Amino acid sequence: MTLEQKHLRGAASGQVVAVRGSVVDVRFPPGELPAISDAIMIDWDLGPPVLAEVQQHLDAATIRAVALQNTAGLRRGTIAHATGAPIRVPVGEAVLGRLLDALGHPADRGPALPADIERRPIHGAAPGIDRRGGELEIFHTGIKVIDLLAPLVKGGKAAMFGGAGVGKTVLIMELIRTTVERHSGISVFAGIGERSREGHELLLELKQSGVLARTALVFGQMNEPPGARWRAGLTALAIAEYFRDTARENVLLLIDNVYRLVQAGGEVSGLLGRLPSRVGYQPTLASEIAEFEERIASVAGAAITSIQAVYVPADDFTDPAVAEIFSHLDSSIVLSRDMASEGMYPAVDPLASTSALLDPRLVGEAHYRTAQDVRKTIAHYRELQEIIALLGIEELSAADRSAVRRARRLMRFLTQPFMVTGAFTGKPGRSVELDETLAGCRAILEGEADDWAESSLYMVGGLEEARSREMAAKEAT
């Protein structure tokens, strides 16, 4: 007997009275309605019970719930049981190294989880202000452009914004690998609306890199009902909160893709009959995002650091969902389609990417000044690009030509080969310390690389590797 079945003894029972796709209406005896967000179990003869979450009270005896599993074949008159609690998912050491679905069931063909494993509700309150950790500690990733221009903080939230095909998932996979190797702690990955191919590739990559044993994976796949995709993020968050609050571990929570969580919420809202809001989004958009994002926080002694991928529809950064997610972040990493088309990977836009932590009081005067000088030089180059396209670089002043040379070299220096792409590119990955990044950028700004070929700085680690490449090229000629 499962824990859910044990929990149902003595619980109120009702009957299914309507089924419309993932939406199920259930009539209970008067006075025994389950609460909003409680789980109900629907027994049927086509397989294991269907789990649904109560969303509305239609009248004194009827609730409307959203099923998190396929309801094809579900009939009216089927018996449903109230559980008296929200959906509960397994947490603890046993979920590390495993791939789970939105309900916490293993989806990796591995052994079943222990029968006595601890379970926690997926809904919870954000930690109070009096519990929050007050210290700011920079979270180094080993990725030059992020550490320089959009630094992350332990216990903070950062997101990577970009359209389709600009490298969000690759960057997330690299961050899993580098941060698990550089920082002790637990990683929890939430794949929301992911393709099964992407989940399989991620599982293999984590096995090969040796970090799977400290990682829990939660997937709400693209072909699953919207309710499952909608709650996959909360399942991952419940697991992360357990390691933060009970095990006192630092947790890295990676989410790919938050926009698909919003989309799933929109599908559920439409199924429930709510009138759409701006641009067709659900009217509860702001509260859904806030409920999710505000639980990602640090407490005294342990932190959840979150790095999220956000799909930007049609590259429109004014989209209501994108704008709402922006408001909850400490760091925003914007991926540029133009840079990706030029082969500048990671395709992080150095001007659009920002961080509230890029402050001389937090990162130091040298880091702040170098980052500002890099941005200023690249911004000046972009202002001159139209003139160069029309008249040629020869028409610029000597000072402007020098600025263009340095900006182009800086942009190439901020590219970097990743460990997770080594099998495809043939280039071994690089992880670069912040001091090495700052020294390289400062040297380029001061003109040390003015006579170097741009290719010497492309896809390298530190400046010394670029110098060695330049010397080898000169010797060869």
Query: Is 80 within 8 Å of 12 (Cβ atoms)?
Result: no
Cα gap 68→39, rounded to integer Å: 10
Return the closest-CA partner of residue 337 out of 162, 150, 208. 162
Active site residue 427: no
Q: Is residue 125 helix, strand or coil?
A: coil
Query: Is 319 within 8 Å of 279 (Cβ atoms)?
Result: yes
**What backbone torsions phi and psi does residue 20 show, to the nearest 5 degrees?**
-130, 90
Cα gap 103→117, rounded to integer Å: 14
C-alpha torsion angle, residues 386, 392, 394, 396 (rounded to 10)? -10
**What backbone torsions phi and psi does residue 119 show, to the nearest 5 degrees?**
-125, 145
Catalytic residue among 64, 168, 177, 405: 168
**What backbone torsions phi and psi does residue 83 show, to the nearest 5 degrees?**
-95, -20
H-helix or E-strand spanning residue 340:
helix 337-341
Return the closest-CA partner of residue 19 out of 82, 65, 57. 65
Angle at which helices 398-413 and 434-445 pack, to 10 degrees?
160
Residue type, 200: H
Structure tokens that stand for 461 in this block: 């680690």
Cα gap 173→156, rounded to integer Å: 19
Catalytic residue among 195, 248, 278, 474: 195
Strands (E), 186-282: 186-194, 215-221, 251-256
Query: Is 450 within 8 Å of 405 (Cβ atoms)?
Result: yes
Catalytic residue among 53, 194, 249, 267: 194
Query: Does 111 sit behind a cis peptide bond, omega within 30 degrees of 0 on the bond before it?
Result: no
Cα gap 426→48, rounded to integer Å: 47
Bridge partners of residue 331, in order along the sequence? 158, 355
Active site residue 405: no
The length of the chain in residues reads: 477
Q: How far is residue 355 CA from its own chain's centroid?
A: 17
Active site residue 194: yes
Buried b (16+ CB within 10 A) or exposed e, 152-180: bbbbbbbbbbbbeebbbbbbbbbbbbbbb
Return the closest-CA partner of residue 29 out of 59, 64, 52. 59
CA geometry: angle 472, 432, 310, nearest 5 deg: 120
Catalytic residues: 168, 194-195
